[in-house]
Structure 1
Amino acid sequence: MRILFVHQNFPGQFLHLAPALAARGHDVLALTDEKNERASPVRTVRYAEPPELQLSSALARSYAEHAERGLLAARGCRALRDRHNYTPDVIFGHSGWGETLFLREIWPEAKLLVYAELMYRTHGQDVGFDPEISPGSDGGRFMTVTRSAHLIQGLVQADAALAPTTYQADSFPAELRSKITTIHDGIDTDHVCPNPNASLTLPNGNVLRAGDEVISFVNRSLEPYRGFHIFMRALPQVLAARPDAQVVLVGGDGVSYGSKPKDAPSWKARMLAELDSKLDLSRVHFLGRVPYADYLSLLQLARVHCYLTYPFVLSWSLTEAMSTGAYIVASDTEPVREVVRDGQNGRMVPFFDVPALSAALIRGLEGDPDAPRLKATARQTILDGYDLKRHSLPRLIEWVESFGPKV
């Protein structure tokens, strides 16, 4: 088979799948944005980065930006077809940025698959969930509708779609849900595993080791969508109760989801200003974004891993923390409930309940008698249903290959 992957930040969710298909003898090619600097595990071609559009209406800009990226991706594919006589049997693209919108017009006979990560909805998900940060409004809901247009169009055009969790699959309209198969991207449990000898050197030279009183909090960006403001507000009580505790936060100061605060340069700055004099900052360590090896060591050595999220896309960091056998304290929100069960493989607290979060973190630090069982069950949860080599990857390969030419 000739298989074309399309992802502006390739390899993204196709990190393991693309090279695995190539290893099985398929001709695998990836199309990505010309400014994508990530290393690729397969042969790659690039399309021109979309220009910044100058439109007065934010509603129009949302769809126009996705359509423009789709146009440039289609032009790249047309060049592959016309100049290099390239025709794929299967196209598998992420639908989130509009890249697959026009590919049916380039190769009508190819099977078009899309990675359906999440459908934006005006009710029941992130919109209006946190009134403090983003109160629900007609304008916000209107914007959500326009942000959904290209996702619906992409799924309508596709032959089939893939989502990593049931929650994310169910975010799509019922009339399109039948197109979506749920298979998690997979966790390499052989590599992401417990390590009693894990250690991490902090910027100040101090070395943290497994067994120390450490709380880990990890996200791509430190922002409200991932409960950063709630977590920070829980820390004064935790640090007061546990004088030896160290808190390590991994994540950038920018915004991956939502918007920047109006009264500060970043959410980190906003929360530090709010909690001024209430935090012992000698024990709160902001590492920014770190190499994967350091991130993994932190998960392995932390006595407690805290994960909070709006009703939104589930983070890899939670499933990877569970794979390391971490003691999990997580928000009782719908995407988390799919993998964490309170009292069975972690502890769950209501997202907005700061005192409950503080108490749960303290309980984990001081030595929850159920910790060994919770940690072992957390890892077993990943081994049983999310293991890359034994579960996810074989299923992903079988799913893609099922759309190839019948012989």
Structure 2
Amino acid sequence: MKILFVHQNFPGQFPYLAPALSARGHEVAALTDEHNQRPSPVQVFRYKAPPAEVTVSAPPGKVYAEYAARGLQAARAARVLRDRHGYVPDLIIGHSGWGETLFLQEIWPNARLAIYAELLYRTRGHDVGFDPEVTPRTEDARLGAVARSAHLIQAMVQADAALSPTQYQAGSFPPELRGKITVIHDGIDTDRIRPDPASRLTLADGTTLRAGDEVLTYVGRSLEPYRGFHILMRALPEVMDARPNAQVVLVGAEGVSYGAAPREGGSWKSRLLAEVGDRLDMSRVHFTGRVPYDDYLKLLQVSRAHAYLTYPFVLSWSMTEAMAAGCQVIASDTEPVRELISDGVNGRLVPFFDVPAWSAALIRALGPDPEAGRLGAAARETVVSDYDLRRVCLPRLIDWVEGQAR
């Protein structure tokens, strides 16, 4: 087949699938934003980025207009590919999150369209209103979620097939659309991400951490409430008092990726340090920002306890990667997490908002917990059995793609 991936940050979720399809003899290319500088494993076409601002008076209309503007730019690039270069794909695989697929069937009406359905925003039961401190339980917040869902529903209606990485994410779509979705995880490279008792990592301040040390880790794209940063920070004073040798390493940018900055301005990091910083031994708290991937893997390998918190939202790759590395994962008892972790079986679950319970669970995990080794081994076994890239997920993904032709 002639297969076109469409993703503003390509390869995004497809760094292994695209080259694997190419290796099987398919003609594979990608359409992406002109500013995307990520290395690509296949030929890349680019569309012109949409205007930074789209002028629409009503906020709900503005939300849709911004995604439609990106979809229009992708469609214009597609028309050039068709008219000037004779390019016509058999199959389009596009991430629906940014509107890029909305108009492609008008350019290539005979191409089959499959979308990556990452999540549908919902007005109740998911992230909206989950954390009253940060996300208000108001009608305006629910109206905003409806507006942000319009292009996702349109993309799903247009699609011939869809793919979601977890049952939770597939379940965010309504029953009348869910029948199009196949659930296959992106896959975790468990050959590369594995325990290493000889691992060590030296931080920027010269602190050297080794496997077996009392290391508490936390990883997020950004340090923000969607990933429970505020809860963890409030739990740390008691943890560090009880474990005077513990080193705490927090990975993530200082801005926001999913939610909003504090209403009073600044970053969540600065706000939480102002709240609890005077109760912390800051010589043992290490904010690394974002780190190179190899350093990130070493960090997971030296971690004695890995804290993962999330709203009811997209599950982070970092949690499954921490499990693959054999970490003892202490995670929030929220729906996307429960799909992979069972309390006391392959990790520990803690109520998201229960700060004292978080302190107690982390103190236990950092101490000489006789269950730690068993939990870490069981966590890795879960990922190896059900989420391994090469032996489980990639074969299923290839079969799903090639099944579109059948």
TM-score by length of 1: 0.99
Aligned equivalent of 1:273: 274
Measured in 1, the distance between the counterparts of 2:59 and 2:214 equals 47
Query: 1:300-311 residue pairs with structure 2 within 5 A?
Result: 300-311=301-312
Measured in 1, the distance between the counterparts of 2:196 and 2:56 equals 52
Query: 1:107-186 residue pairs with structure 2 within 5 A?
Result: 107-186=108-187
Q: Does 1:27 align with 2:27?
A: yes
Runs of 4+ aligned residues of structure 1 deviating over 4 Å after TM superposition are none
Measured in 2, the distance between the counterparts of 1:56 and 1:91 equals 33
What amino acid does structure 1 have at the position aligned with 2:210?
R
Measured in 1, the distance between the counterparts of 2:20 and 2:338 equals 30
Measured in 2, the distance between the counterparts of 1:37 and 1:15 equals 14
Measured in 2, the distance between the counterparts of 1:61 and 1:259 equals 18
Aligned equivalent of 1:2: 2
What amino acid does structure 1 have at the position aligned with 2:296?
Y
Aligned equivalent of 1:100: 101
Aligned equivalent of 1:376: 377
29-38 or 50-59, which deviates more:
50-59
Alpha carbons 1:307, 1:328 under 8 Å: kept: yes
Alpha carbons 1:263, 1:270 under 8 Å: kept: no
Q: The residue matched to 1:276 in structure 2 has which SS?
A: helix
Query: 1:7-406 residue pairs with structure 2 within 5 A?
Result: 7-52=7-52, 53-404=54-405
Measured in 1, the distance between the counterparts of 2:197 and 2:5 equals 39
Alpha carbons 1:222, 1:267 under 8 Å: kept: yes
Q: The residue matched to 1:45 in structure 2 has which SS?
A: strand
Measured in 1, the distance between the counterparts of 2:118 and 2:140 equals 24
Deviations along 1:357-390, one digit per CA (max 9) or x if unpaired, are 0111010110211111111110000011000000
Measured in 2, the distance between the counterparts of 1:348 and 1:264 equals 32
Displacement, 1:54? 3.0
301-310 or 134-143, which deviates more:
134-143
Measured in 1, the distance between the counterparts of 2:134 and 2:368 equals 34
Alpha carbons 1:93, 1:99 under 8 Å: kept: yes
Q: The residue matched to 1:167 in structure 2 has which SS?
A: helix
CA 1:306 to 1:74, structure 2 compared with 1: closer, same or farther past 3 Å?
Answer: same
Q: Report the RMSD for the aligned CA atoms in angstroms.
A: 0.7
Deviations along 1:82-132, one digit per CA (max 9) or x if unpaired, are 110011010000000000000111111111000000000000000000001
Measured in 1, the distance between the counterparts of 2:373 and 2:144 equals 46
Q: The residue matched to 2:74 in structure 1 has which SS?
A: helix
Measured in 2, the distance between the counterparts of 1:326 and 1:276 equals 27
134-143 or 181-190, which deviates more:
134-143
Q: The residue matched to 1:355 in structure 2 has which SS?
A: helix
Measured in 2, the distance between the counterparts of 1:265 and 1:43 equals 41
Measured in 1, the distance between the counterparts of 2:381 and 2:277 equals 41
Deviations along 1:251-305, one digit per CA (max 9) or x if unpaired, are 0011110111122311101111111311111111000000000111001110000
Measured in 1, the distance between the counterparts of 2:298 and 2:395 equals 28
What amino acid does structure 2 have at the position aligned with 1:55?
V
Alpha carbons 1:304, 1:364 under 8 Å: kept: yes
Measured in 2, the distance between the counterparts of 1:254 and 1:114 equals 29
Displacement, 1:57? 2.5
Q: The residue matched to 2:93 in structure 1 has which SS?
A: strand
CA 1:251 to 1:294, structure 2 compared with 1: closer, same or farther past 3 Å?
Answer: same
Measured in 2, the distance between the counterparts of 1:211 and 1:369 equals 14
Deviations along 1:175-195, one digit per CA (max 9) or x if unpaired, are 000000000000000001111
Displacement, 1:74? 0.6
Q: The residue matched to 1:287 in structure 2 has which SS?
A: strand
Q: The residue matched to 1:277 in structure 2 has which SS?
A: helix
53-62 or 249-258, which deviates more:
53-62
Identity over aligned residues, as a percent? 66
Alpha carbons 1:7, 1:93 under 8 Å: kept: yes
Measured in 2, the distance between the counterparts of 1:34 and 1:95 equals 18
Q: Which runs of 5+ in 1 are unaligned?
A: none
What amino acid does structure 1 have at the position aligned with 2:153?
I
Measured in 1, the distance between the counterparts of 2:343 and 2:272 equals 28
What amino acid does structure 1 have at the position aligned with 2:311?
Y
